[in-house]
Amino acid sequence: MRYAHEVDKVRTAERALMARLPDGTLMSRAAAGLASVCARILRGGRPHAEPGLGVYGARVVLLVGGGDNGGDALYAGAGLARRGAGVTAVLAGTKSHEGGLADLRAAGGRVLPVAEEERVATAIDRADLIIDGMLGIGGRGGLREPYAGLARRAADSPAIVVACDLPSGVDASSGQVAGAAVRADVTVTFGTYKPGLLVDPGAEHAGVVELVDIGLGPYLPDPDVCAPLAEDVAVRLPRPTSESNKYRRGVVGVLAGSETFTGAAVLAVGGAVRGGAGMVRFASSEHPVELVRQRWPESVTTVIGDSLDGIGRVQAWVAGPGLGTDERAEALLAQVLATDLPVLVDADGLTVLARRRDLLWRDAPTVLTPHAGELARLLGTDAGEIEARRLEHVRRAAEELTATVLLKGSTTLIAEADRPVRVNPTGTPWLATAGSGDVLSGLTGALLAGGVPAIDAAATGAYLHGLAARLSADPYGDGAAPISAYDVLDALPEAFRTLAG
Ligand SMILES: NC(=O)C1=CN([C@@H]2O[C@H](COP(=O)(O)OP(=O)(O)OC[C@H]3O[C@@H](n4cnc5c(N)ncnc54)[C@H](OP(=O)(O)O)[C@@H]3O)[C@@H](O)[C@H]2O)[C@@H](O)CC1
Ligand SMILES: Nc1ncnc2c1ncn2[C@@H]1O[C@H](COP(=O)(O)OP(=O)(O)O)[C@@H](O)[C@H]1O
Ligand SMILES: [K+]
């Protein structure tokens, strides 16, 4: 698991640790870690194969802000200068860290005030590696000048950009980017991950994130956000044993589809079948039932009117994809939510819930899987607000709706009240294709029916779904192609194997 802490918690832990250490120890640990990652990059090691020219003679530019983030960059620059790099510090703050500046000068580094525009521009354009030390966890809001201009120039340079602690302009606690921000190839972060490095839009500005241990661990409280690694997810996968039978593996009920929308039902049932359900019971009107029977003959289907009576026993429900939003849909959804079973509500089901939030007053686990537009309807705000501050909104939704909320999008987030928000690390933008969300609902429903707790089912479902999409869009890791929701379904067995293997 990768754990992330918000700024106030990082600062409290840093204070507690600093009180036990000689002055400057933490900064020198941070700077040494940063310098060693930069040296590795210059030598051509992972994660970058280029430029591989070594540290000696490499042209390194430091973008230095007025705070301690600039101090880290200056000390790291001094370390690289001592190994033979040609280091130029561009001083962009109203002041600069004195100790760091003295160390860089003593190591033979060059210093340029930001006002020397032409020389600064030339240095950035010719750099092999740029360290962004403008703002760290002290940054607030979008970058102001001259930082914003330097960030733009760095983006146009062919140099590898390494962010110190976090890309300047990214809000450390939320991942919000309010205006100009640095786009890094690699971010070297200190002590713990920051939520803004894991959650978009911040995450996509951070590139590959490397954590440098500065000894903060024992002083950090529970994390605010965490991102599971493959092994964390693998242990949660339900696996059949010799004791298993189809009922014990979990029977999932799927209430989806309507005369108008049939495809969503076929895809949701497919997700449940491929998600490892022992049996899928599908309830809908005539046309979708006919199509599901043709495509998934292994499912048990029932044509229903406005009652679910006689469907048979299930251990969890998936309700909503293609269901419609009329009174019949509302009545059926109400019946599902009146059970004491885990229920996942998606798509049209969420639109119905936006006007019937009372249906969520229940004791059994409820998982909601909205995209930003659906969550906006549920919370009475607009999708742009949600996209800009995903973390805040997914937390708010989990609390207000008393449910496990999986917010889909460029980084899928999963929240439950009083627990760290989980960030899904898999996925690809190619997944943004109609119907792929229906696959996720069926898949997650199968995990719920298999007895996986709601937050783990949602996190595991999102992980497998994103992995299947990657395997299908870019199976050889050498170039991606567009995929359909069906391709995601077809890649699910491979995703399970990859994870379990
Ligand atoms: N503490 C420790 O033990 C350790 C800390 N470490 C390092 O310290 C870093 C935190 O350092 P920090 O607290 O000095 O804040 P930092 O991010 O450098 O700059 C804040 C300054 O920027 C300014 N500013 C803010 N927003 C702005 C904007 N949008 N656009 C332009 N300017 C803006 C703001 O100025 P103001 O607006 O207040 O005038 C403020 O003065 C941390 O990330 C890590 O790298 C490591 O060494 C490990 C040990
Ligand atoms: N920019 C993106 N990057 C990665 N994944 C994305 C992006 N946008 C959407 N997705 C994913 O694509 C899927 C789309 O689901 P959804 O919006 O419900 O579509 P549908 O309702 O048509 O099935 C979700 O799993 C979502 O997380
Ligand atoms: K930075």
Say what percent of the chain tops pLDDT 90: 92
Per-residue pLDDT, 49: 47
Q: What is the pLDDT of residues 466-499, one digit of tens each?
A: 999 999 999 998 889 999 999 999 999 999 999 9
d(CA 25, CA 71): 12
| Cα–ligand 1 centroid distance for 218 (angstroms) | 23
Q: Which residues pair with 316 in a beta bridge?
A: 252
- The helix/strand/coil state of 3 is strand
Q: Look-up: residue for tokens 């092994």? A: 231
Q: Which of 129, 118, 115 shows the shortest CA–CA distance to 81?
A: 129
Residues within 6 Å of ligand 1 by CB = 14, 18, 26-27, 30, 65-70, 72, 135-144, 147, 164-165, 190, 214
Nearest protein CA to atom 15 of ligand 1, as residue: 138
Say if residue 247's pLDDT is above 90: no
Query: What's the whole-number mean pLDDT along residues 285-310?
Result: 96
Say if residue 57's pLDDT is above 80: yes
Q: What is the pLDDT of residues 124-167, one digit of tens each?
A: 999 999 999 999 999 999 999 999 999 999 999 999 999 999 99
Tell me the CB-side half-sphere exposure of residue 274, using CA atoms within 13 A.
Answer: 30
Question: Which DSSP category does 280 fall into?
Answer: E
Q: Which amino acid is at 34?
A: L
Q: What ligand has the least distance to the C-alpha of 31?
A: 1
Query: Using 50, 70 and 90 to split pLDDT, how confident is the model at 390?
Result: very high
| Cα–ligand 2 centroid distance for 264 (angstroms) | 14
**Binding residue per annotation — 219?**
no
Query: What's the whole-number mean pLDDT along residues 232-240?
Result: 88
Q: What is the pLDDT of residues 201-214, one digit of tens each?
A: 999 999 999 999 99
**Binding residue per annotation — 371?**
yes
| Cα–ligand 2 centroid distance for 458 (angstroms) | 15
Best residue among 10, 62, 135 to mutate for probing ligand 1's pocket (most ligand atoms within 8 Å of CB) is 135
Residue 190, H or E segment: strand 186-190
Q: What is the pLDDT of residues 2-53, one digit of tens each?
A: 999 999 999 999 999 999 999 999 999 999 999 999 999 998 854 444 556 7
Angle at 47 between CA 43 and CA 51, to 5 degrees: 40
Q: Is 129 within 8 Å of 186 (Cβ atoms)? A: no
Q: What is the pTM of this model?
A: 0.94
- Is the minimum distance from the CB of 441 to ligand 2 under 6 angstroms? no
Alpha helices (H) in 192-237, listed in sequence order: 195-198, 202-206, 230-234
Residue 213, H or E segment: none
**Binding residue per annotation — 437?**
yes
Query: What's the whole-number mean pLDDT along residues 40-69?
Result: 83
Residues contacting residue 261 through CB under 8 Å, at least 6 positions apart: 288, 321, 322, 323, 324, 348
Q: What ligand has the least distance to the C-alpha of 351?
A: 2
Say if residue 104's pLDDT is above 90: yes
Best residue among 204, 323, 344, 371 to mutate for probing ligand 2's pocket (most ligand atoms within 8 Å of CB) is 371
Nearest protein CA to atom 11 of ligand 1, as residue: 68
Say what percent of the chain tops pLDDT 70: 98
Q: What is the pLDDT of residues 427-444, one digit of tens each?
A: 999 999 999 999 999 999
Per-residue pLDDT, 51: 55
196 Rama class: left (phi>0) / alpha (psi -120 to 50) / beta:
alpha
Tokens coding 461: 């479902």
**Binding residue per annotation — 262?**
no
Q: Which of 455, 456, 470, 465 shows the shortest CA–CA distance to 496?
A: 465
Q: Look-up: residue for tokens 């330097």? A: 150
Say if residue 252's pLDDT is above 80: yes
| Cα–ligand 3 centroid distance for 5 (angstroms) | 17
Q: How far is CA 12 from CA 85, 218, 219, in A?
A: 35, 12, 8
d(CA 98, CA 100): 5
Whole-number average pLDDT of the chain: 95
Task: Enumerate domains of the chain plus CATH numbers.
Answer: 2-226 (3.40.50.10260), 231-473+482-500 (3.40.1190.20)
Atom of ligand 2 nearest to the CA of 439: 23
| Cα–ligand 1 centroid distance for 140 (angstroms) | 9
d(CA 451, CA 268): 19
Question: Which DSSP category does 306 fall into?
Answer: S
